[in-house]
C-alpha cells in the first residue's frame, strides 16, 4: 500500500469513528449533560479536575489549559487542574503506589460540588478508578470519557461517555478530544455570552 493510501485510510477511519459517535443520539445527550454539568460547576465557583494515563493524560492537560487559559473567546480564567505534575506523581507513586497517584490528589484538592473528568480508553485504569471512587465519596461529580465498552469506569462515574466503535486507543482519544473541545466551546458561550462575537484570541 502506498503512503498516500495509508494516510487516506487513517484519516477516513478517524472521520468515520467520529461520525458514528455523533450519529448516536444517546452520545449527544451525554455530551450535552457533560457541558451543562461543567458550566454549572464553574458558575458556582467550583473547580474541574482531569486525570488519565499516557495520551489520556495529555488530553486531560489540554482540556484544563484551555479552561484556565482560553479557547475561542477572550474571557476570564476558569478554575481547572490536571493531575499531571511529575514531582507530585512520582512522590505519591513512590510512597503510596501508582494506583493512588490520582486519588491522593482528589483527596488533597477536591471539594463537594467540584467535577472530576476521568479519561481512560479501556475504562480499566486502576488509578483512574480509584480517583473516581474517592471523588464520589467526597461529593464530587464525575464524568468518564471512555472506550471499549467503558470497563469498570462505566459504572463508577456519574456520567459515562463511551466511544463505542473504535478498538484502538488513538481513535478513542481523538473522539475524546473532539468532545472536550465541544464542551469548552459550550462553556465559553454559556458563561461569557457577552464575548460570543469577540474575535478568536491569537494563540
Confidence band of 191 (pLDDT split at 50, 70, 90): very high
Convert the pLDDT of each residue in 124-159 to its tens digit: 999 999 999 999 999 999 999 999 999 999 999 999
Task: State in words which class domain 7-192 has.
Answer: alpha beta
Convert the pLDDT of each residue in 92-134 to its tens digit: 999 999 999 999 999 999 999 999 999 999 999 999 999 999 9
In the chain, where are the structural domains located? Answer: 7-192
Q: Which residue has the higher pLDDT, 202 or 3?
A: 3
Query: Residue 80 half-sphere exposure, CB side, CA atoms within 13 Å?
Result: 26
Say what the pTM is.
Answer: 0.93
Whether residue 200 is predicted with pLDDT greater than 90 in this model: the reply is: no
Mean pLDDT of the chain: 95
Amino acid at each position: 500500500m502506498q503512503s498516500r493510501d495509508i494516510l487516506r485510510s487513517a484519516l477516513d477511519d478517524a472521520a468515520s469513528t467520529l461520525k458514528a459517535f455523533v450519529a448516536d443520539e444517546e452520545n449527544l445527550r451525554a455530551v450535552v449533560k457533560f457541558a451543562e454539568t461543567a458550566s454549572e460547576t464553574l458558575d458556582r465557583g467550583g473547580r474541574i479536575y482531569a486525570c488519565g494515563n499516557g495520551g489520556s493524560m495529555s488530553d486531560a492537560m489540554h482540556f484544563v489549559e484551555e479552561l484556565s487559559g482560553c479557547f475561542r473567546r477572550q474571557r476570564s480564567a476558569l478554575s481547572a487542574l490536571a493531575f499531571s505534575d511529575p514531582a507530585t506523581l512520582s512522590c505519591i507513586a513512590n510512597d503510596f503506589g501508582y494506583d493512588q497517584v490520582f486519588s491522593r490528589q482528589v483527596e488533597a484538592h477536591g471539594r463537594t460540588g467540584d467535577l472530576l473528568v476521568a479519561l481512560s480508553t479501556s475504562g480499566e485504569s486502576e488509578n483512574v478508578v480509584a480517583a473516581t471512587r474517592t471523588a464520589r465519596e467526597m461529593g464530587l461529580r464525575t464524568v468518564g470519557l471512555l472506550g471499549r465498552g467503558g470497563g469498570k469506569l462505566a459504572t463508577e462515574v456519574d456520567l459515562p461517555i463511551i466511544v463505542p466503535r473504535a478498538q484502538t486507543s488513538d481513535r478513542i482519544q481523538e473522539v475524546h478530544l473532539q468532545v472536550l473541545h465541544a464542551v469548552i466551546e459550550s462553556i465559553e458561550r454559556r458563561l461569557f455570552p457577552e464575548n460570543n462575537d469577540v474575535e478568536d484570541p491569537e494563540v
